[in-house]
Protein backbone atom coordinates (compact mmCIF):
# COMPACT_ATOMS: atom_id res chain seq x y z
CA UNK A 1 0.00 0.00 0.00
CA UNK A 2 2.98 2.34 0.33
CA UNK A 3 3.11 2.86 -3.44
CA UNK A 4 -0.60 3.68 -3.35
CA UNK A 5 0.02 6.25 -0.61
CA UNK A 6 2.70 7.89 -2.74
CA UNK A 7 0.30 8.18 -5.68
CA UNK A 8 -2.27 9.88 -3.48
CA UNK A 9 0.26 12.38 -2.14
CA UNK A 10 1.51 13.16 -5.64
CA UNK A 11 -2.09 13.59 -6.85
CA UNK A 12 -2.80 16.32 -4.30
CA UNK A 13 0.60 17.91 -4.94
CA UNK A 14 -0.15 18.00 -8.72
CA UNK A 15 2.93 15.86 -9.38
CA UNK A 16 1.21 13.16 -11.46
CA UNK A 17 1.12 13.23 -15.23
CA UNK A 18 -2.30 13.43 -16.86
CA UNK A 19 -2.14 9.71 -17.63
CA UNK A 20 -1.17 8.83 -14.06
CA UNK A 21 -3.88 11.11 -12.70
CA UNK A 22 -6.58 9.50 -14.86
CA UNK A 23 -5.38 6.03 -13.87
CA UNK A 24 -5.62 6.92 -10.18
CA UNK A 25 -9.12 8.36 -10.54
CA UNK A 26 -10.29 5.34 -12.51
CA UNK A 27 -8.80 3.02 -9.88
CA UNK A 28 -10.54 5.02 -7.15
CA UNK A 29 -13.91 4.59 -8.87
CA UNK A 30 -13.52 0.81 -8.77
CA UNK A 31 -11.70 0.38 -5.45
CA UNK A 32 -13.54 1.43 -2.24
CA UNK A 33 -10.35 0.97 -0.19
CA UNK A 34 -8.44 3.34 -2.44
CA UNK A 35 -11.26 5.89 -2.25
CA UNK A 36 -11.07 5.66 1.53
CA UNK A 37 -7.29 6.18 1.39
CA UNK A 38 -7.87 9.33 -0.67
CA UNK A 39 -10.58 10.46 1.74
CA UNK A 40 -8.28 10.09 4.73
CA UNK A 41 -5.42 11.92 3.08
CA UNK A 42 -7.75 14.74 2.00
CA UNK A 43 -8.91 15.02 5.62
CA UNK A 44 -5.38 15.27 6.96
CA UNK A 45 -4.33 17.65 4.20
CA UNK A 46 -7.30 19.90 4.93
CA UNK A 47 -6.40 19.91 8.59
CA UNK A 48 -2.84 21.00 7.83
CA UNK A 49 -4.15 23.87 5.70
CA UNK A 50 -6.03 25.32 8.66
CA UNK A 51 -3.00 26.70 10.47
CA UNK A 52 -0.85 29.25 8.65
CA UNK A 53 2.30 28.34 10.56
CA UNK A 54 2.31 24.79 9.19
CA UNK A 55 4.47 25.13 6.09
CA UNK A 56 6.44 21.89 6.07
CA UNK A 57 4.83 19.66 3.43
CA UNK A 58 7.36 16.87 3.97
CA UNK A 59 6.48 16.75 7.65
CA UNK A 60 2.80 16.76 6.76
CA UNK A 61 3.23 13.85 4.35
CA UNK A 62 5.24 11.93 6.93
CA UNK A 63 2.51 12.58 9.48
CA UNK A 64 -0.01 11.18 7.03
CA UNK A 65 2.00 7.97 6.62
CA UNK A 66 2.25 7.57 10.38
CA UNK A 67 -1.43 8.34 10.77
CA UNK A 68 -2.36 5.72 8.18
CA UNK A 69 -0.17 3.14 9.91
CA UNK A 70 -1.86 3.78 13.22
CA UNK A 71 -5.28 3.83 11.60
CA UNK A 72 -4.84 0.35 10.12
CA UNK A 73 -4.18 -0.98 13.62
CA UNK A 74 -7.51 0.38 14.89
CA UNK A 75 -10.64 -1.72 14.97
CA UNK A 76 -12.79 -1.34 11.86
CA UNK A 77 -15.81 -0.26 13.89
CA UNK A 78 -14.22 2.99 15.09
CA UNK A 79 -16.46 5.79 13.93
CA UNK A 80 -15.16 8.24 11.37
CA UNK A 81 -15.38 11.29 13.62
CA UNK A 82 -13.15 9.61 16.20
CA UNK A 83 -10.52 8.98 13.52
CA UNK A 84 -10.58 12.63 12.50
CA UNK A 85 -10.23 13.81 16.08
CA UNK A 86 -7.29 11.47 16.52
CA UNK A 87 -5.70 12.86 13.35
CA UNK A 88 -6.12 16.43 14.56
CA UNK A 89 -4.48 15.71 17.91
CA UNK A 90 -1.76 13.58 16.32
CA UNK A 91 -0.72 16.29 13.88
CA UNK A 92 -1.10 19.51 15.78
CA UNK A 93 -2.07 18.95 19.40
CA UNK A 94 -4.65 21.72 19.67
CA UNK A 95 -6.34 23.48 16.74
CA UNK A 96 -8.56 26.52 16.87
CA UNK A 97 -10.08 25.49 13.56
CA UNK A 98 -10.73 22.08 12.02
CA UNK A 99 -12.85 20.20 9.52
CA UNK A 100 -15.36 17.54 10.46
CA UNK A 101 -14.89 15.44 7.34
CA UNK A 102 -14.22 15.48 3.62
CA UNK A 103 -16.18 12.81 1.79
CA UNK A 104 -14.94 11.67 -1.59
CA UNK A 105 -17.30 9.96 -4.01
CA UNK A 106 -16.61 8.73 -7.55
CA UNK A 107 -18.24 10.37 -10.56
CA UNK A 108 -18.58 9.38 -14.17
CA UNK A 109 -16.39 12.25 -15.39
CA UNK A 110 -13.20 11.02 -13.71
CA UNK A 111 -13.37 13.73 -11.08
CA UNK A 112 -14.02 13.19 -7.41
CA UNK A 113 -16.82 15.13 -5.72
CA UNK A 114 -15.61 16.46 -2.39
CA UNK A 115 -17.60 17.71 0.57
CA UNK A 116 -16.13 19.88 3.30
CA UNK A 117 -18.22 20.36 6.44
CA UNK A 118 -17.24 22.72 9.26
CA UNK A 119 -18.81 22.10 12.69
CA UNK A 120 -20.37 24.74 14.89
CA UNK A 121 -17.99 27.19 16.54
CA UNK A 122 -15.18 26.49 14.05
CA UNK A 123 -13.87 27.70 10.69
CA UNK A 124 -11.71 26.20 7.96
CA UNK A 125 -9.50 27.21 5.02
CA UNK A 126 -8.99 25.28 1.78
CA UNK A 127 -7.46 25.81 -1.65
CA UNK A 128 -9.64 24.79 -4.61
CA UNK A 129 -8.27 22.90 -7.66
CA UNK A 130 -7.82 26.17 -9.61
CA UNK A 131 -5.81 27.78 -6.80
CA UNK A 132 -8.70 29.86 -5.46
CA UNK A 133 -8.78 30.34 -1.69
CA UNK A 134 -11.88 29.73 0.44
CA UNK A 135 -12.49 30.32 4.14
CA UNK A 136 -15.57 28.43 5.35
CA UNK A 137 -17.46 29.56 8.45
CA UNK A 138 -19.11 27.56 11.22
CA UNK A 139 -21.94 25.13 10.51
CA UNK A 140 -21.29 25.38 6.76
CA UNK A 141 -20.84 22.86 3.95
CA UNK A 142 -18.95 23.28 0.68
CA UNK A 143 -19.27 20.85 -2.26
CA UNK A 144 -16.60 21.07 -4.97
CA UNK A 145 -14.99 18.78 -7.59
CA UNK A 146 -11.40 17.55 -7.58
CA UNK A 147 -10.99 19.22 -10.99
CA UNK A 148 -13.00 21.93 -12.76
CA UNK A 149 -14.41 21.73 -16.29
CA UNK A 150 -15.73 24.50 -18.54
CA UNK A 151 -17.39 26.06 -15.52
CA UNK A 152 -15.90 26.28 -12.05
CA UNK A 153 -19.07 25.47 -10.12
CA UNK A 154 -19.32 24.78 -6.39
CA UNK A 155 -22.19 24.55 -3.88
CA UNK A 156 -22.27 26.44 -0.58
CA UNK A 157 -24.65 25.97 2.33
CA UNK A 158 -23.63 28.44 5.02
CA UNK A 159 -21.04 31.22 4.88
CA UNK A 160 -17.72 31.45 3.05
CA UNK A 161 -15.15 34.03 1.98
CA UNK A 162 -13.84 33.53 -1.56
CA UNK A 163 -10.64 34.82 -3.18
CA UNK A 164 -11.06 33.60 -6.76
CA UNK A 165 -8.31 33.19 -9.34
CA UNK A 166 -9.25 35.14 -12.46
CA UNK A 167 -10.00 33.04 -15.54
CA UNK A 168 -12.17 34.76 -18.15
CA UNK A 169 -12.71 31.52 -20.07
CA UNK A 170 -13.95 29.58 -17.04
CA UNK A 171 -16.53 31.50 -14.98
CA UNK A 172 -16.72 30.70 -11.28
CA UNK A 173 -20.24 30.02 -9.98
CA UNK A 174 -21.38 29.59 -6.38
CA UNK A 175 -24.78 27.94 -5.98
CA UNK A 176 -26.77 28.20 -2.73
CA UNK A 177 -29.56 26.19 -1.02
CA UNK A 178 -32.25 28.74 -1.90
CA UNK A 179 -31.50 28.55 -5.64
CA UNK A 180 -29.38 31.68 -5.91
CA UNK A 181 -26.24 31.78 -8.04
CA UNK A 182 -23.24 34.08 -7.65
CA UNK A 183 -21.19 34.33 -10.86
CA UNK A 184 -17.64 35.75 -10.84
CA UNK A 185 -14.42 35.90 -12.86
CA UNK A 186 -11.73 36.95 -10.40
CA UNK A 187 -13.08 38.36 -7.18
CA UNK A 188 -12.83 38.69 -3.38
CA UNK A 189 -16.27 38.36 -1.79
CA UNK A 190 -18.25 36.92 1.10
CA UNK A 191 -21.43 34.83 0.74
CA UNK A 192 -23.90 34.26 3.59
CA UNK A 193 -26.26 31.51 2.39
CA UNK A 194 -27.56 29.33 5.19
CA UNK A 195 -30.68 27.26 4.40
CA UNK A 196 -33.95 29.15 4.94
CA UNK A 197 -32.06 32.39 5.63
CA UNK A 198 -31.95 35.50 3.37
CA UNK A 199 -28.97 35.56 1.03
CA UNK A 200 -26.26 38.17 1.61
CA UNK A 201 -23.26 38.84 -0.67
CA UNK A 202 -20.54 41.37 0.20
CA UNK A 203 -18.03 42.31 -2.52
CA UNK A 204 -14.59 43.60 -1.55
CA UNK A 205 -12.77 43.35 -4.89
CA UNK A 206 -13.70 42.61 -8.51
CA UNK A 207 -17.23 42.14 -9.80
CA UNK A 208 -20.02 39.61 -9.30
CA UNK A 209 -23.48 38.96 -10.69
CA UNK A 210 -26.21 37.47 -8.50
CA UNK A 211 -29.31 35.80 -9.95
CA UNK A 212 -31.92 33.13 -9.37
CA UNK A 213 -30.69 29.81 -10.74
CA UNK A 214 -33.72 29.57 -13.06
CA UNK A 215 -33.46 33.16 -14.37
CA UNK A 216 -29.92 34.10 -15.38
CA UNK A 217 -31.21 36.98 -17.53
CA UNK A 218 -32.13 38.97 -14.40
CA UNK A 219 -28.68 39.61 -12.94
CA UNK A 220 -27.90 42.07 -10.17
CA UNK A 221 -24.33 43.36 -10.53
CA UNK A 222 -22.23 44.22 -7.48
CA UNK A 223 -19.20 46.53 -7.50
CA UNK A 224 -16.49 46.75 -4.80
CA UNK A 225 -17.70 47.74 -1.31
CA UNK A 226 -21.30 46.90 -2.14
CA UNK A 227 -23.54 44.44 -0.32
CA UNK A 228 -26.54 42.56 -1.71
CA UNK A 229 -29.30 41.44 0.65
CA UNK A 230 -32.28 39.25 -0.25
CA UNK A 231 -35.71 40.61 0.72
CA UNK A 232 -39.29 39.53 0.11
CA UNK A 233 -39.37 41.82 -2.92
CA UNK A 234 -36.04 40.83 -4.46
CA UNK A 235 -32.47 42.01 -3.99
CA UNK A 236 -31.40 45.25 -2.28
CA UNK A 237 -27.92 46.68 -2.89
CA UNK A 238 -26.29 48.96 -0.31
CA UNK A 239 -22.85 50.12 0.79
CA UNK A 240 -20.85 47.86 3.12
CA UNK A 241 -20.97 49.53 6.54
CA UNK A 242 -18.99 47.04 8.61
CA UNK A 243 -16.22 44.54 7.99
CA UNK A 244 -17.98 41.40 6.70
CA UNK A 245 -14.96 39.09 6.92
CA UNK A 246 -13.68 39.42 10.51
CA UNK A 247 -15.05 35.92 11.14
CA UNK A 248 -12.13 34.64 9.03
CA UNK A 249 -9.86 35.69 11.89
CA UNK A 250 -12.14 34.19 14.53
CA UNK A 251 -14.02 37.39 15.39
CA UNK A 252 -17.78 37.97 15.21
CA UNK A 253 -18.55 41.68 14.83
CA UNK A 254 -21.97 43.32 15.10
CA UNK A 255 -22.49 47.07 14.60
CA UNK A 256 -25.75 48.57 15.88
CA UNK A 257 -27.68 45.38 15.21
CA UNK A 258 -30.87 44.11 16.81
CA UNK A 259 -30.44 41.36 19.35
CA UNK A 260 -32.88 39.26 17.33
CA UNK A 261 -30.57 39.41 14.30
CA UNK A 262 -27.49 38.58 16.39
CA UNK A 263 -29.26 35.68 18.10
CA UNK A 264 -30.23 34.20 14.73
CA UNK A 265 -26.58 34.18 13.64
CA UNK A 266 -25.45 32.68 16.95
CA UNK A 267 -27.97 29.87 16.40
CA UNK A 268 -26.47 29.19 12.97
CA UNK A 269 -22.83 29.49 14.01
CA UNK A 270 -23.14 27.32 17.13
CA UNK A 271 -25.98 24.95 16.11
CA UNK A 272 -28.14 25.74 19.14
CA UNK A 273 -31.76 26.84 19.61
CA UNK A 274 -32.09 30.20 21.41
CA UNK A 275 -35.61 30.95 22.65
CA UNK A 276 -36.44 34.58 23.47
CA UNK A 277 -39.34 34.67 25.94
CA UNK A 278 -39.67 38.46 25.93
CA UNK A 279 -39.94 40.14 22.50
CA UNK A 280 -38.39 43.30 23.94
CA UNK A 281 -35.05 41.48 24.14
CA UNK A 282 -35.03 40.91 20.38
CA UNK A 283 -35.55 44.63 19.77
CA UNK A 284 -32.54 45.71 21.83
CA UNK A 285 -29.71 47.24 19.78
CA UNK A 286 -26.08 46.41 20.44
CA UNK A 287 -22.59 46.92 18.97
CA UNK A 288 -20.06 44.29 19.98
CA UNK A 289 -17.20 42.01 18.95
CA UNK A 290 -16.65 38.46 20.17
CA UNK A 291 -14.06 35.76 19.71
CA UNK A 292 -15.42 32.68 17.99
CA UNK A 293 -13.70 30.38 20.46
CA UNK A 294 -15.50 32.01 23.43
CA UNK A 295 -18.59 29.94 22.69
CA UNK A 296 -22.24 30.90 22.65
CA UNK A 297 -22.76 30.98 26.44
CA UNK A 298 -19.83 33.32 27.06
CA UNK A 299 -21.01 35.58 24.22
CA UNK A 300 -24.51 35.78 25.73
CA UNK A 301 -23.06 36.54 29.17
CA UNK A 302 -21.07 39.43 27.72
CA UNK A 303 -24.19 40.76 25.98
CA UNK A 304 -26.01 40.38 29.28
CA UNK A 305 -23.68 42.99 30.80
CA UNK A 306 -24.83 45.56 28.23
CA UNK A 307 -28.56 44.77 28.33
CA UNK A 308 -29.61 42.89 31.49
CA UNK A 309 -31.57 39.70 30.83
CA UNK A 310 -31.61 36.19 32.27
CA UNK A 311 -30.10 33.08 30.66
CA UNK A 312 -31.24 29.50 31.18
CA UNK A 313 -29.64 26.56 29.35
CA UNK A 314 -31.09 23.10 28.74
CA UNK A 315 -28.23 20.81 27.66
CA UNK A 316 -30.51 17.85 26.93
CA UNK A 317 -32.62 19.82 24.45
CA UNK A 318 -29.66 21.92 23.23
CA UNK A 319 -31.68 25.04 23.96
CA UNK A 320 -30.95 28.38 25.59
CA UNK A 321 -33.75 30.55 26.96
CA UNK A 322 -33.49 34.33 27.34
CA UNK A 323 -35.97 36.22 29.52
CA UNK A 324 -36.29 39.35 31.65
218 and 117 within one domain: yes
- Asked whether 176 and 157 are in contact (CB, 8 A), the reply is yes
Tell me, yes or no, whether 131 lies in a domain: yes
307 and 284 within one domain: yes
224 and 291 within one domain: no
d(Cα 147, Cα 130) in Å, to the nearest integer?
Answer: 8
Range of the domain at 32: 6-50
CA atoms within 13 Å, Cβ hemisphere of 137:
28
φ, ψ of residue 315 in degrees (nearest 5): -65, -35
Note the pLDDT of residue 14: 72
d(Cα 17, Cα 10) in Å, to the nearest integer?
Answer: 10
Last residue of a domain, one of 239, 260, 275: 239
303 and 191 within one domain: no
Listed as ranges, residues in the chain with pLDDT below 70 are: 1-5, 29, 39-40, 42-111
- Asked whether 120 and 269 are in contact (CB, 8 A), the reply is yes
215 and 134 within one domain: yes
Tell me, yes or no, whether 156 lies in a domain: yes
256 and 218 within one domain: no
Tell me, yes or no, whether 43 lies in a domain: yes
186 and 159 within one domain: yes
Note the pLDDT of residue 63: 47
- Asked whether 265 and 246 are in contact (CB, 8 A), the reply is no
Note the pLDDT of residue 267: 93
Number of domains in the chain: 3
CATH number at residue 121: 2.60.120.1440
254 and 222 within one domain: no
d(Cα 121, Cα 249) in Å, to the nearest integer?
Answer: 13
CATH number at residue 292: 3.55.50.30
HEC readout, 126-166 = EECCCCCEEEECCCEEEEEECCCCCCEEEEEEEEEEEECCC
- Asked whether 208 and 222 are in contact (CB, 8 A), the reply is yes
190 and 168 within one domain: yes
Tell me, yes or no, whether 181 lies in a domain: yes
Tell me, yes or no, whether 316 lies in a domain: yes
d(Cα 51, Cα 124) in Å, to the nearest integer?
Answer: 9
Tell me, yes or no, whether 189 lies in a domain: yes
234 and 123 within one domain: yes
Tell me, yes or no, whether 55 lies in a domain: no
- Torsion 274-280-281-285 (CA) sign: positive
233 and 126 within one domain: yes
Last residue of a domain, one of 183, 205, 239: 239
Tell me, yes or no, whether 61 lies in a domain: no
d(Cα 258, Cα 266) in Å, to the nearest integer?
Answer: 13
Strands 152-163, 172-175: pairing is parallel
Note the pLDDT of residue 81: 40
157 and 131 within one domain: yes
Last residue of a domain, one of 206, 239, 272: 239
Amino acid sequence: MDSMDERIIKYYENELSETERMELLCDAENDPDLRKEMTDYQNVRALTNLHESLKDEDAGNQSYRLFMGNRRRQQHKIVRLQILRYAAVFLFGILSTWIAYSLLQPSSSNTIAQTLTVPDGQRAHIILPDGSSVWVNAHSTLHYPSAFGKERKIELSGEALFDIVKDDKHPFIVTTPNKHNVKVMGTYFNVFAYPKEPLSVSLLRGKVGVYQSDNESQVTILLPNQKLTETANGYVVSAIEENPILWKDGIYSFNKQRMGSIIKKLELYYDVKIIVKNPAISDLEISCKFRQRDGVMEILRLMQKVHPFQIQKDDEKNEIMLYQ
